Amino acid sequence: MTDPILEVEDLATRFYTDEGVVEAVDGVSFDLYEGETVGIVGESGSGKSVTAMSIMGLIDSPGRVEEGTIRYRGEDLLERSESGIREIRGGEISMIFQDPMTSLNPVYTVGEQISRVIRQHRDVSQSEARARAVELMGDVGIPEAESRVDNYPHQFSGGMRQRALIAMAISCEPEILIADEPTTALDVTIEAQIFDVLEELQETYGMSVILITHDLGVVAGTAERVNVMYAGRIVERADVDALFENPRHPYTRGLMRSIPRLHGSADRLEPIAGSVPNPAALPSGCSFHPRCPHATELCRGYDPELREVEPGREAACVHARGYGGPDERATGSGEPVAADGGDDDE
């Protein structure tokens, strides 16, 4: 296998606030290979977007990346100067942000904004950049791109603004595209269209994609591998098929149960009890234990690391089969929990 195009290792990003130190991202590691899509999934506040912003070099005071490495084609981006990061950002690594209305400047036309990104990273004339902007707008499915290139963001619908952001993000044919909740606030029909556009563009340009979402259902048909995040950490990692077939972490199982299904009215959504903890005041032991229906005394006192529980599968739960953590039988804390949440009789 070839080397990853991106390697994030032991990333720690903290914010220093009046309430205390916020451990927004705490020891996150993952990699990305050429042409693949990797999902990062979790509820709001789990650290997904801060991970993306750390990769892009967009963490501002009072936050800072304090530990770890972010290697792009073998080079640690954290060792680059701000000007060096700008050379990479938007050109070789690009990002689609959540809210197109705040990401697009209301006083410039959509075409101008796409053209500016192109001219920042490519040695082309203004007319060439405009022509490329029109082409890109057509590529992402904006109708009558030749005339709409001179429209302002407020003249676009939510779905069209998101398409414009995608056009801007791919304008310099990046190696890596980070899509941070790219369909937030869009209806399911438009959401499906946006993901179809992203899939076509990935195939056209050969991009590697990091897809950030709160919805496991979104990554089911788009990603090859999935990282599940909770309270600033990755708590489970697996190939997408393996994850859906047999989730090992109780948080992942909770996310699964909250996916809407069309199997009749008898199937009801089962939300996860409680909420994501305050990252400035995390609970002791496993951060998920206050919300976990299978928590034991061991969970309340022991903070599990992400470990391999079977080939190609990692989980940060002492109850995951194969975890190899502290000897539960010796502590009297209970037997491991099976994937379906019942007693493990293997």
Residue 337 has φ and ψ, to the nearest 5°, of -90, 135
Beta bridge pairs of residue 242: none
Question: Sheet of 176-180: strands edge to edge?
Answer: 93-96, 176-180, 208-213, 37-41, 225-230, 233-239, 313-315, 307-310
Beta bridge pairs of residue 315: 236, 307
Whether the pLDDT of residue 196 is over 60: the answer is yes
* Predicted pLDDT at 325: 58
Residue 326's pLDDT band, with cuts at 50, 70 and 90, is low
Integer Cα distance of 244 and 230 in angstroms: 18
Provide, rounded to the nearest whole percent, the portion of the chain with pLDDT above 70: 90
| Nearest 10 degrees: Cα torsion 45, 48, 49, 52 | 160
| Residue 345 DSSP one-character state | -
| Residue 309 DSSP one-character state | E
**Can you tell me whether residue 191 is helix, strand or coil?**
helix
Residues sharing a CB contact under 8 Å with residue 304, sequence separation 6 or more, in sequence order: 286, 316, 317, 318, 323, 325
Integer Cα distance of 111 and 141 in angstroms: 15
| Nearest 10 degrees: Cα torsion 116, 32, 305, 232 | 20
* Predicted pLDDT at 144: 95
* Predicted pLDDT at 335: 41
Q: How far is CA 230 from CA 234, 251, 279, in A?
A: 6, 8, 10
**Can you tell me whether residue 317 is helix, strand or coil?**
coil
What is the residue-wise DSSP string for 23-62? EEEEEEEEEE-TT-EEEEE--TTSSHHHHHHHHHT---TT
**Can you tell me whether residue 214 is helix, strand or coil?**
coil
Residue 19's pLDDT band, with cuts at 50, 70 and 90, is confident
Identity of the amino acid at 298: L
State CA 43 to chain mean position distance.
11
Residue 103 near residue 185 (C-beta atoms within 8 A): no
How does pLDDT run across 125-146, given as a tens digit for each residue? 999 999 999 999 999 999 999 9
Residue 309's pLDDT band, with cuts at 50, 70 and 90, is very high
Whether the pLDDT of residue 336 is over 80: the answer is no
> Mean pLDDT: which of 5-14, 118-127, 180-189, 195-204 is highest?
5-14
How does pLDDT run across 84-138, given as a tens digit for each residue? 999 999 899 999 988 777 889 999 999 999 999 999 999 999 999 999 999 999 9
Residues sharing a CB contact under 8 Å with residue 283, sequence separation 6 or more, in sequence order: 277, 289, 290, 300
Q: How far is CA 151 from CA 1, 2, 111, 154, 249, in A?
A: 46, 44, 8, 8, 47
Integer Cα distance of 268 and 188 in angstroms: 19
* Average pLDDT of the residues of the chain: 89
Token pair, residue 55, equals 């990769």
Report the predicted TM-score, pTM, of the whole model to 2 decimal places: 0.89
**Across residues 229-246, what is the average pLDDT?**
96
